[in-house]
Amino acid sequence: MVKIRLTRTGRKHYHTFRIVATEATNPRDGRFNEILGSYDPNLPNNDEKKFVFNKERIEHWIGKGAQPSATVWTLLRKHGINKATAKATRKQLSV
């Protein structure tokens, strides 16, 4: 099963994260299928570079059945992607 989750990058005391699609059995910072975006919690909330993601690719993976982690769902909901839009995307891909 494919998961959409965060992998940690950056340096000590200044972590940044990548949003990746990966197999659920892979380790947190291990192999991944595709990089979907990035998240930098150290930036101020109004900075547009705090959370950068490829909406089309995330909807593609959700449409294929990938399950985002709870943290990724929270970030996506803040930017307009929720379970209802994900289900609509999945229906469009199956038709």
The residue with tokens 């994900």 is: 86
Residue 73 has pLDDT above 90, yes or no: yes
**Cα separation values, 45 from 42, 63, 87, Å:** 9, 29, 28
Pick the CATH number of 2-94 from 3.30.1320.10, 3.20.20.150, 3.40.50.150, 3.30.930.10: 3.30.1320.10
The CA-based diameter of the chain, rounded to the nearest angstrom, is: 47
Is residue 23 within 8 Å of 33, Cβ to Cβ?
A: yes
pLDDT in tens, 13-71: 999 999 999 999 898 888 899 999 999 999 999 998 999 999 999 989 998 899 999 99
pLDDT in tens, 5-15: 999 999 999 99
At 3, list the tokens.
């998961």
pLDDT in tens, 82-93: 766 666 655 665
At 11, list the tokens.
């340096």
Which of 63, 60, 19, 62 lies closest to 39 in space, CA to CA? Answer: 19
The predicted model scores a pTM of 0.81
Going from N- to C-terminal start, the domains of the chain cover 2-94
